[in-house]
Structure 1
Amino acid sequence: MFEKTERIGQRRHETIRLVRDVLRAMFIQMFGDPEVNQHRFPMGLIRDMVASASYGTSEKASDELRQFPVLRMGNITYEGGWDLSNLKYVDLDPRSREKYLARAGDLIFNRTNSKELVGKTAVFDRADPMAIAGYLVRGSHE
């Protein structure tokens, strides 16, 4: 029994390594090697590329339909897009809306959790207003 468990653990580690290698290869294929930057993407610190950065709301989100859907870390995909299939909702008073609602063009990124999740980033490209959860950061160009 122990040997079977050991083999399963080894296969799991090998699968994780292979997935990591494939993701890195896909990234390099799409964007090039970040150390070489052959596409000449602008490089710099986030603080130099956004006018302001702020945490999202700490209001408790609910499964019940409320005023605004809340973007959470699981809504940002590894590809830099959005998965809105599992949303929660929150009510925000008028003063909080300015602070916690995402605007088109905002850079939203995850600031907490595991090393696989920290830094997941997407540009908010939706017309409908959506709130940002507290473990996300919104970098605004305004």
Structure 2
Amino acid sequence: MRKLISIILAATAGIAYADDAGVYINANAGINTGSNYQFAYNANAGYMFNRYLGVEAGFTGASTSYWDAAIKGVLPIPIVDIYGRLGMSYVNNYGSTSGAVLYGVGVAFPILPYIRINIEDYAISNASTQNFLMGGLEVKF
């Protein structure tokens, strides 16, 4: 009986591990703390290779628009997922464009198997670093 339970638990863990891979999108709203607490929003689309590593691309809108691509690392713990992002951003500021580094951290709270509430803090660093504090929803497909 113990062997059967062990096999079932191992198979379930394997399914849960594989189930974390796939496409996701998220939408967030918040503030740009680097620019007098101005309203900001963003949207991202990404792909998780497994429960620990993925890639994503997105857009952040505020007084300046930002396009970015990043690597996402996730540390899953029982109640929340803690994640970090590191990548590059393309900044379009009133007609002039430049490159920047994107870095940040966040937490995601699962509310349904494929829906999570996330809270994140990230910065886009170039000549004038902008910091964003965002909250929103993520949907996995």
Higher helix proportion (structure 1 or 2): 1
Given the two structures, how large is their TM-score scaled by the length of structure 1? 0.27
Structure whose alpha-carbon radius of gyration is higher: 1
Given the two structures, how large is their TM-score scaled by the length of structure 2? 0.27
Structure ranking higher on relative contact order (CA contacts 8 Å, 6+ apart) = 1
